[in-house]
Chain A
Amino acid sequence: MDAFKSIINSLSEPQIMFSFLVLVFFFIFPPSDKLYRIHKKLRLDLLWTNVGGVFIFTGLFVFFGLGVTDENFRLIVTKPDNVPIVGLLFLTIFFLWLSMKQGRDNDIRLAEGQKPNEYHDPEDKVLVWPDLVYIELIAIVLCSILLMVWSIYLKAPLEGPANLADSPNPSKAPWYFLGLQEMLVYFDPWLAGVVLPSFIVLGLMAIPYIDSNRKGQGYYTFNERKTEISLFLFGWLLLWVFLIFVGTFLRGPNWNFFGPFEEWSLSKVVPLTNINLSELVYVRWLKTGLPDNIFLREFFGISFVVGYYLILPPLLARTILKKFYSKMGIFAFSMFVILLLTSVTLPIKMYLRWTLNLKYIVAIPEFFFNI
Chain B
Amino acid sequence: MTEDAINQNPNENPESQNKPEVSPPASPVGEKTPPIEAKEKVSRRSFLTSATLAWGAFAVATAGILTGAGRFFFPNVLFEPPQTFKAGYPDEYTIGEVSERWKEKFGVWIVREKGMIYALSTVCTHLGCTPNWLGNEKKFKCPCHGSGFRSTGINFEGPAPRPLERYRIVLADDGQIFVDKTKKYQHEKGQWSDSESFIAV
The answer to the question of B64 belonging to the interface, with a C-beta cut-off of 8 Å to chain A, is: no
Interface residues in B87-142 by Cβ distance below 8 A to A read 103-105, 107, 122, 126-127, 129-132, 141-142
Query: Interface SS of chain B: helix, strand, loop or mixed?
Result: loop
How many chain B residues touch A (CB < 8 A): the figure is 26
> Are B159 and A253 in contact, with the CB atoms below 8 A?
no
The answer to the question of A370 belonging to the interface, with a C-beta cut-off of 8 Å to chain B, is: yes
Q: Taking CB as reference atom, which chain B residue is nearest A165?
A: B104
> Are A273 and B130 in contact, with the CB atoms below 8 A?
no
> Are A185 and B159 in contact, with the CB atoms below 8 A?
yes
Of B132, B158, B162, which is within 8 A of A272 by CB?
Answer: B158
A86 CB → nearest B CB, Å: 24
The answer to the question of A122 belonging to the interface, with a C-beta cut-off of 8 Å to chain B, is: no
Known: A165-B107, A169-B143. A274 touches B130 (CB 8 A): no
> Are A168 and B143 in contact, with the CB atoms below 8 A?
yes
> Are A274 and B189 in contact, with the CB atoms below 8 A?
no
> Are A366 and B107 in contact, with the CB atoms below 8 A?
no
The answer to the question of B175 belonging to the interface, with a C-beta cut-off of 8 Å to chain A, is: no
Of A171, A188, A272, which is within 8 A of B129 by CB?
Answer: A171
> Are A255 and B126 in contact, with the CB atoms below 8 A?
no
The answer to the question of A49 belonging to the interface, with a C-beta cut-off of 8 Å to chain B, is: no
A273 to B155, CA, bound (A): 10
Binding site for B on A (CB under 8 A): 164-171, 181, 184-185, 188-189, 253-256, 270-274, 359-360, 363, 365-366, 368, 370
Beyond contacts A189-B126, A189-B127, A273-B157: 10 other A-B pairs, Cβ-Cβ < 8 A, are A165-B105, A165-B122, A184-B126, A185-B145, A255-B144, A274-B157, A274-B158, A363-B161, A365-B188, A366-B188
Top 8 closest pairs, chain A to chain B, by CB = A169-B143, A272-B157, A254-B146, A167-B129, A165-B104, A365-B162, A255-B146, A171-B144
Binding site for A on B (CB under 8 A): 103-105, 107, 122, 126-127, 129-132, 141-146, 148, 156-159, 161-162, 188-189
A-B contact pairs, 19 of them (CB 8 A): A164-B107, A164-B130, A165-B105, A165-B122, A168-B143, A170-B144, A181-B145, A184-B126, A188-B161, A189-B127, A254-B141, A254-B142, A254-B145, A256-B146, A273-B157, A274-B157, A363-B161, A365-B161, A366-B189
